[in-house]
Amino acid sequence: MRITRVLGAALLALGLAAGPAAADSSPSPSASDDGKAPSRAGTSFRTATEIEQGQQATASGSTGDYLYWSFPADAGQRPTVKATVKLPRTHGAQTWQIDVYDGLRRRQSCQYGSATRTAGQGAASVELACVLRTVRAWSEPWANDPLPGTYYIRLTVVDLGAADLGLPVSAEVRADSEDIGGAAAVDGSLAKPLVPGIAVKSEAEQDGAKSAVLSSIEPDDGWSSGWWTDRWVWTAVGGLLAALAGIGGYALTRGSGRPSRVPPNV
């Protein structure tokens, strides 16, 4: 019975810990879908249109234009950027490309997806996708790992005939993230997320002045910088299971505790 109680307590602790971990691994909600979606795009990094994760933005432009958007991504998230370009009825073959840059304007490579695709002659649209690597809370200065902060999306055509230059097009862009959780946790965090102007704002707040930040978007629950992950839960559960295993092993090996019967003297 004692061993049964020990195992029951271990399974109960494991079930309680699995709840937060399962919640962390679910995709982030699309909380901003109810709001008014942006209907334009910027023409440079500084004028990039801000969008929230889960929000679909639209824009109109011409072939040859550079279209820019920006969105926030925090530690432990794996962003996915998708874009759909609607083309005019008559056109030649065109190759479109979507690029994603971090807050330091370093181009981030795509783990999965087709970031560059060619639309054949007369095609109605072309769809692009880029799944980034998981955002890390901290990284070496020489590394090119994605870090928490603002991310920029750039959409443009990279190959087309001269006759198609300047034709009107429309684009739809959406950024989502999957929460990876403790599997991507690292020992360390940034002092501030890579948001343009945030350092200037921090100095101004210390001086009691007000300063505008070039990017005002941030995750719904704020910047975590990776201080909490479900790795803490699993570490605690592992220690608890080890302690329970030690108690169970001791209970099995110590015996009944009664003294052995001494045979009577002959």
Instruction: Tell me the residue range of the domain where 170 lies.
Output: 26-179+191-224
Q: What does the pLDDT read at residue 256?
A: 57
User: Digits of tens for pLDDT over the chain (266 positions)?
Assistant: 444 444 444 444 444 444 444 333 333 333 334 457 899 999 999 999 999 999 999 999 999 999 999 999 998 899 999 999 999 999 999 999 999 999 999 999 999 999 999 999 999 999 999 999 999 888 888 888 999 999 999 999 999 999 999 999 999 999 999 988 666 666 667 778 888 866 445 444 455 544 445 566 777 777 774 455 566 666 677 788 888 888 888 788 876 555 556 566 65
Position 229 in a domain:
no
Q: What is the DSSP letter of 42?
A: B
> Helix axis angle, 2-24 relative to 231-253, nearest 10°?
170
CATH of the domain at 138: 2.60.120.380
Position 17 in a domain:
no
Question: Count of alpha carbons within 13 Å of 252, Cβ hemisphere only?
Answer: 9
- Kindly give, in sequence order, each residue whose CB lies less than 8 Å from that of residue 96, ignoring residues fewer than 6 positions away: 85, 116, 117, 118, 119, 126, 128, 155, 156, 157, 158
Position 214 in a domain:
yes
Position 44 in a domain:
yes
Check if the beta carbon of residue 66 is closer than 8 Å to that of residue 43: yes
Position 60 in a domain:
yes
Dihedral-angle region of residue 76 (phi above 0 means left; psi in -120 to 50 means alpha; beta otherwise): left
Position 262 in a domain:
no
Position 48 in a domain:
yes
Position 261 in a domain:
no
Backbone angles phi, psi at 118, to 5 degrees: -110, 130
Would the pTM of this model clear 0.85, i.e. be above it? no
Letter for the amino acid at 192?
A: K
State the total domains in the chain. 1
Q: 82 pairs with which residues across the strands? A: 129, 174
